[in-house]
Amino acid sequence: MNTFTSQDTLIIVGIVIAYIVFTTWLTFRLRSKNSGDFMEGSRAMPAFIVGILLMSEYIGAKSTVGTAQAAFEGGIAASWSVLGAAIGFPLFGLLLVKRIYNTGKITISGAIAEKYGNSTKNIISIIMIYALLLVNVGNYVSGAAAISTVLKVSLPVAAFITAIVSTFYFAYGGMKGVAWVTLLHSALKYFGILVIMGFALYKTGGFTPMVQKMPDFYWTWDGNFGASTIFAWLIGTIGSIFCTQFVIQAICSTKDVQSAKRSTWIAFFFCMPIALAIAVIGVAAKYLHPEINSLYAMPIFLQDMNPWIAGLVTTSLVASIFVSVSTVALAIASLVVKDFYVPYRNPTPEQEFKATRWLSLLIGFLPLIFVLLVPEVLKLSFFTRAIRLSITVVAVIAFYAPFFKSTRGANAGLIGSCVVTSLWYVLGDPFGINNMYIALITPAVIMVLDRIIPNKAYAKTKAPTPVQNSGV
């Protein structure tokens, strides 16, 4: 493994800085000028752009670095962690896009509140904010790993750099700016991942030496993970797509339902090949550098490249980081503003827009507190998907099981699932049961029990009055 000279590092840093300056200028030019632009792109985004945005949201810094890390440890089967998104997007388009889009809401909490009322809306918002903040913790760790490898800075410093640039993107660009700049980010990211895979296979001499010398499980469909874990990944990824705020916000930025559905198929076609490429990179890193920390399975190849190529590839990883952080942070800001600030303060559009930008600064930097506490990015990623899966269970029941009308049951199911799933994750998945299954079963069981147990308050009242449409 080579080490970059000072001149090499300067070239790489120069390329990265030039890209950041250019995209910062582009974001400023495309910046959102009002709350409608910021939150939903004024419902005028093309299906292709939204499809790319969806793909990038699920194949961002966390998925690229995290999946490569998992493949390093458990084999090519780690690709299932991303293939789940390829399966989930078309299913989302078939089952829920039309129903959510037609509510006129840009938050999943607002859509579900049409059935269960304000209290359920607020609970969903709090749970989603909790999950998405953890998502960005993972994004910062993944991004910092790539930046620190090349720039020779500590992980916290690299994470701080990530926070500064990403926060500018979404705080000024909003949905309109982020979506268009994401097209450039995604093209570069795709190029970078394919270059790393090609370079990795060149260094290994192709697949044959790896297949011959590495343990067999590195090449099986379930690897060292097992069918149970892979099934949990699929459930979690598909389930999280159905309810995650930045996905809902993205499809609601299109001009009509048909465009929203088309965007999910575009995301599908872009997810498939990149999933396998990332897993190959992780396995190749294990073959060539078995002694390294698995977190660096992807960025380790940068140090063996020509500095100009390494600069472009590093820039592609940096682009992936910025997309991931920006879209997630934008989703958190939308939830806080639309579900809490607007209903309780009733601001003017100008006040709402200003508050959103100030809030974005806090959201951008808050995850930095927890960066050093995350050893395994992919495990954290799927825990956050488990939390979101519980919301999907309630959403599916709300849209497809009209006889479950109890607000009490929906609220208890959401809170109970969030608490139990979090404890299960912290305890290390007792009895070998993945926390994803806990998140899947718990809300349904609680809602069934609620239906069995008499609810005197509910019996004396009608179903909750739908939430007034205030743009939520």
Query: Does residue 325 contact residue 364 with C-beta atoms inside 8 Å?
Result: yes
In 3-state terms the chain splits into helix, strand, coil percentages (rounded to 5) of: 80, 0, 20
Sign of the CA dihedral 450, 453, 456, 461? positive
Query: Does residue 19 contact residue 319 with C-beta atoms inside 8 Å?
Result: yes
The pLDDT of residue 348 is 85
Angle at 69 between CA 66 and CA 72, to 5 degrees: 155
Query: Does residue 109 contact residue 339 with C-beta atoms inside 8 Å?
Result: yes
* Burial of 90 from C-beta contacts in 10 A (0-12 / 13-18 / 19+): middle
How many angstroms from the chain centroid is the CA of residue 154?
Answer: 24
Query: Does residue 397 contact residue 444 with C-beta atoms inside 8 Å?
Result: yes
pLDDT tens figures, 217-273: 999 999 999 999 999 999 988 988 888 877 887 888 888 899 999 999 999 999 989
The pLDDT of residue 471 is 35
Q: What is the DSSP string of 383-436?
A: HHHHHHHHHHHHHHHHHH-TT---HHHHHHHHHHHHHHHHHHHHTT-GGG--HH
The pLDDT of residue 470 is 38
If we measure between CA atoms, which residue out of 419, 414, 417, 410 comes closest to residue 458?
Answer: 410
If we measure between CA atoms, which residue out of 134, 399, 136 comes closest to residue 242?
Answer: 399
What region, left, alpha or beta, does residue 432 occupy, with left being phi > 0 and alpha being psi -120 to 50 degrees? left
The pLDDT of residue 299 is 84
If we measure between CA atoms, which residue out of 252, 312, 266 comes closest to residue 103?
Answer: 252
The pLDDT of residue 245 is 78
Contacts of 433 (CB under 8 A, 6+ apart): 424
Query: Does residue 146 contact residue 305 with C-beta atoms inside 8 Å?
Result: no
**In this structure, what are the phi and psi dihedrals at residue 289, rounded to the nearest 5 degrees?**
-135, 65
Residue ranges of the chain whose pLDDT lies below 70: 1-4, 30-44, 61-62, 150, 169-179, 372, 374-378, 455-472
Bridge partner list, 45:
254
The pLDDT of residue 172 is 64
User: Is 14-387 a domain of CATH 3.40.50.10800?
Assistant: no
Query: Does residue 395 contact residue 96 with C-beta atoms inside 8 Å?
Result: yes
Could you give the CA distance from residue 330 to residue 27 in angstroms, rounded to a whole number? 14
Task: 202-211: list long-range contacts, CB under 8 Å, 24+ apart.
Answer: 203/284, 203/288, 203/301, 203/304, 204/284, 204/287, 204/288, 209/287, 210/283, 210/284, 210/287
Cβ neighbours, 10 Å, residue 206: 9
Could you give the CA distance from residue 301 to residue 448 in angstroms, rounded to a whole number? 51
If we measure between CA atoms, which residue out of 384, 371, 380 comes closest to residue 144?
Answer: 371
pTM score of the predicted model: 0.78
Q: Which residues of 376-412 are buried (b: 16+ CB within 10 A; e: fewer)?
A: bbbbbbbbbbbbbbbbbbbbbbbbeeeebbbbbbbbb
The pLDDT of residue 376 is 67
pLDDT tens figures, 167-177: 776 666 555 56
Query: Does residue 193 contact residue 316 with C-beta atoms inside 8 Å?
Result: yes
- Helices 108-116 and 377-400 cross at an angle (nearest 10°) of 40
Bridge partner list, 254:
45
* Burial of 251 from C-beta contacts in 10 A (0-12 / 13-18 / 19+): buried
